[in-house]
Amino acid sequence: MSVKRPKVAVVGSFMMDLVVKAERRPRVGETLVGEEFGMFIGGKGTNQAIAAARLGAEVHMIGRLGQDQFGDIFIESLQKDNIHTDFIVRDTEVGTGVGTPVIDADGNNSIIIIPRANMRLTIANVEKAASAIAEADVLLLQLEIPIESSKRAAEIARENSTAVILNPAPACQIPNEFLEFVDYLTPNEIETEMLTGVKVSDQSGTEQAARILLDKGMSAVVLTLGSRGTLLLTENTTASVPAHKVNVVDTTAAGDAFCGGFAFGLAQGQKLTEAVRCGNAAGALAVTVMGAEPSMPTSEAVRELLNQ
């Protein structure tokens, strides 16, 4: 039996992470000699596109890079993961987005993000990619690009019966006129509290928050709760899907792996709970590996974990 290859379109961000490790943060006016440096591709859109592609989806990445060396590195990396890059715009005036995480001896992380070209992704740029959105089974969105461009992508998806997943990260308020075009919302604990004002530390708060979000018109709300797993709420179902027990190395990009896995599952035609399980497995595997891009799992690893 031949299985159709699921198609996912991602309209999202690119962030080159320039990671510095040092004993401590420098004081004002001080020059401090640090210990380690690393450069890693990232950005929620990029991570999620890579996650979906590694699981076997045909992925179109849509976004805006600078016409610079960082931009070239992104194109090369995405293509290595067989991601289509034809609808990525190169900005000749503003460079590729960067993040500068500083990690101290205690492992505490603080980061400055400069979105740069990401915030210049226009509605016209998105409309140019309408064919990729229309042909996809699932459109995957986050909030690291201009909200009006994300909303336009969601509208195009709705007009063409492409399901829309919005990962509302980083946490911010989202206009109801945008949420109208969203089918599945995947906030983590912080984003859920930001969107609802309800604490999600216990089961009743978690369910109450999910209900508030569902009432905004979504088909399903999927709250990701870290090591507590996921709460799935639809009009007819409330399901807690537990997390896998794994050896935690670095929780960076767990949510991105989850979204890539969930999108892949839905695009493949899996039932909602099955797609959530696929997301949970991808999220769990991501926390067992250091970094973002290197931690996005393969389909074999996810299958193996799901079969355990």
Q: Which is nearer to ligand ADP, 90 or 244 (CB)?
A: 244
Measured distance CA(260)–CA(209) in Å, rounded = 23
Residue 169 tokens read as: 């990260």
Considering only residues 8, 287, 302, 305, which one is a binding residue for ligand ADP as defined by CB under 6 A?
Answer: 287
Residue 267 tokens read as: 């695009």
Measured distance CA(301)–CA(55) in Å, rounded = 9
Cβ 113 vs Cβ 97: under 8 Å: yes
Angle at 133 between CA 129 and CA 135, to 5 degrees: 115
The stretch among 25-33, 46-54, 140-148, 221-229 that binds ligand ADP (CB under 6 A) is 221-229
Cβ 141 vs Cβ 12: under 8 Å: yes
Note if the bond before 170 is cis, omega within 30 degrees: yes
Q: How far is the CB of 188 from ligand ADP (least distance, A)?
A: 4
Q: What is the x/- site pattern for ligand ADP, positions 173-212, by CB under 6 A?
A: ---------------x------------------------
The stretch among 24-32, 93-101, 222-230, 300-308 that binds ligand ADP (CB under 6 A) is 222-230
Please report whether residue 48 would count as binding ligand ADP according to CB under 6 A.
no
Q: How far is the CB of 185 from ligand ADP (least distance, A)?
A: 13
What do you get for the CA distance between the two ends of the chain, in Å?
25
Q: Which residues pair with 21 in a beta bridge?
A: 36, 103
The stretch among 32-40, 45-53, 101-109, 252-260 that binds ligand ADP (CB under 6 A) is 252-260
Please report whether residue 111 would count as binding ligand ADP according to CB under 6 A.
no
One-letter amino acid identity for 138?
V
Give yes or no: 86 in active site.
no
Considering only residues 16, 19, 61, 254, which one is a binding residue for ligand ADP as defined by CB under 6 A?
Answer: 254
Catalytically annotated residues = 256
